[in-house]
Amino acid sequence: MNISDRQSQHGQWSSRWTFILAATGAAVGLGNIWKFPYLTGQNGGSAFVLIYIICVAALGIPLMMAEILLGRRGRATPIHTMKVLAEETNTTQWWQIIGWSGTIAGMLILSYYSVIGGWTLAYIVKSITGIFSGATGEFAASTFGTFVGSASSLFFWHTLFMVITMAIVAGGVQGGLEKAVQFLMPTLFVLLLVMVGYSMTTGYFGKGLAFLFTPDFSKLTGSSMLAAMGQAFFSLSLGMGTIMIYGSYVPKDTSIATTTIAIALADTAVALLAGMAIFPIVFANNLEASSGPGLIFQTLPVAFGNMTGGMIFGSLFFTLLLVAAWTSSISLIEPLVTWLIETFGMSRLKAAIYSGVATWLFGLGTVWSFNLWADLKFFGLTFFDLLDFITSNLMLPLGGILIALFAGWLMSAEHTKAELHIANPLLYTTWQILVRYIAPVAVFIVLLNAIGLL
């Protein structure tokens, strides 16, 4: 059978729209709603946003197209896909490292992502009970410190988050993943729009828009440009196998090019809407826009605690954060689950349980990093910081570079054209130049900067 006629044994998306929802869900996560706003705040606002959007177009979209086409052509897990494609291109089986790296990175990322996802669950409860009503900055900071300092609390919320995530994954492509994203993604956008609507009533919406959309290039530094490039790459969940495995479920007649552009637009829209929701609230409460990672769990609870209807909108905001975390989480573990099914012939339920338990166990290291193991350092980093560094700064950029090199240089133009469905020769040549030359160099620069060599 011709490789282009292969079908995934795990099923396929029922429509192009469902794939867009699923892939957008994989891309949209805590990075859009938690990381993007504080990076924007730290790097001068709108000038950073402009560079970010340029990087999404020139770097993110070509790389995502490459990862999807590999997945659809292989129609298997990232590991088996790279084995099949290496045979097709008559090259070494060492290229399977793309699949192995992505699958392992996804599992490791979910192990600590689940802990942060558990925080959002806990903060929904805290918001509903009104604990932040009239809260000061000191109270919010001490509440967060006490919470993460409790190993038993983090254990409980991490466990609950993982159980729900694996229950969705166990349902399969159409029974679990599709149903989840068809509910979660519209919910995410509705919650975002409600939060933006609330921000319009603060009196500082114009200031928030100016901060996001009026460029001040005097605040743009070399490091902020690298941060924008890195965020564009990581925001689209590239290099971790999730986009490749989702690509293996894409129907044969779906245009990868137009679909990828739709996913990138939706992902960027979520990041910008998050900024439009958050910054007016920050400015209205005289809070610091560049307050870093604590913006979500320490700064915003103060704002919600001192505003009319803050209990309701605080709960809505953390529910939004939870939905974003779930849509990413179910995609992070999918490559490992499907690999267990393909390799050992397991049922999907059994593969989900094995994957979930292994990931949950690894996540305990992150749970304890904030309390019992707080003083335990590896190369000067806590267990959580070490995991984050290895995955985000090493595994994902290397995976992205290898994907670009394989799709751009080793696969034949005949095969890449067949998968991408790009009829216009100029557009195909543009993609080829970006994925062969621009993307690998740009991601390599991000990698060097991340490991401190720039």
State pLDDT tens for residues 136-145: 888 988 999 9
Confidence at residue 6, expressed as pLDDT on a 0 to 100 scale: 67
Confidence at residue 112, expressed as pLDDT on a 0 to 100 scale: 94
| CB-based contact 213:49 (threshold 8 Å) | yes
Distance CA 50, CA 215 (A): 7
Distance CA 416, CA 379 (A): 42
Distance CA 93, CA 406 (A): 12
Work out the angle between the directed axes of helices 97-128 and 334-344 (0-180°, nearest 10).
130
Confidence at residue 438, expressed as pLDDT on a 0 to 100 scale: 95
Question: Please, which residues bridge with residue 378 across strands?
Answer: 381
Neighbours of 386 (CB within 10 A): 17
- DSSP letter assigned to residue 2: -
**CATH number, position 343:** 1.10.4160
Measured CA distances, 311 to 120, 131, 177, 198, 300 (Å): 15, 9, 31, 13, 12
- Residue 432: phi and psi, rounded to 5, are -65, -40
Distance CA 328, CA 109 (A): 10
| CB-based contact 319:124 (threshold 8 Å) | yes
Confidence at residue 142, expressed as pLDDT on a 0 to 100 scale: 92
Question: Please, which residues bridge with residue 381 across strands?
Answer: 378
Task: Give how many domains the chain has, as a whole number.
Answer: 1
Cα angle value 97/103/107 (rounded, 5°): 140
Neighbours of 210 (CB within 10 A): 15
Among the listed residues 47, 8, 385, the one whose alpha carbon sits nearest the alpha carbon of residue 177:
8
Confidence at residue 292, expressed as pLDDT on a 0 to 100 scale: 62
DSSP string, 124-192: HHHHHTTTTTT--HHHHHHHHHHHHT-HHHHHHHHHHHHHHHHHHHHT-IIIIIIHHHHHHHHHHHHHH
Question: CA quadruple 431, 215, 42, 380: dihedral positive or negative?
Answer: positive
Give the SS3 label for residue 378: strand
Q: How many helices (H) and strands (E) does the chain have?
A: 24, 0
- Residue 378: phi and psi, rounded to 5, are -115, 115
Distance CA 425, CA 408 (A): 15
Confidence at residue 304, expressed as pLDDT on a 0 to 100 scale: 87
State pLDDT tens for residues 177-206: 888 888 888 998 898 999 899 899 888 999
Confidence at residue 452, expressed as pLDDT on a 0 to 100 scale: 83
Distance CA 21, CA 189 (A): 11
| Sites in the chain below the pLDDT cut of 70 | 1-6, 290-293
Q: Enumerate the H helices of 370-424 as residue ranges.
A: 383-388, 396-405, 413-420
Work out the angle between the directed axes of helices 78-88 and 61-74 (0-180°, nearest 10).
80
Compute CA 274 distance to the chain's CA centroid, rounded to the nearest angstrom: 14
Cα angle value 161/163/169 (rounded, 5°): 105
Task: Considering only the C-alpha atoms of the chain, give the largest distance between any 2 of them, rounded to a whole number of Å.
Answer: 67
Confidence at residue 1, expressed as pLDDT on a 0 to 100 scale: 45
Among the listed residues 9, 16, 21, the one whose alpha carbon sits nearest the alpha carbon of residue 330:
21
| CB-based contact 73:249 (threshold 8 Å) | no
Distance CA 101, CA 79 (A): 9
Torsion of CA 201, 205, 208, 214, to 10 degrees: 170
CB-based contacts of 162, cutoff 8 Å, min separation 6: 114, 356, 359, 360, 363
Instruction: Supply the range of the domain harboring residue 353.
Output: 3-450
Give the SS3 label for residue 381: strand
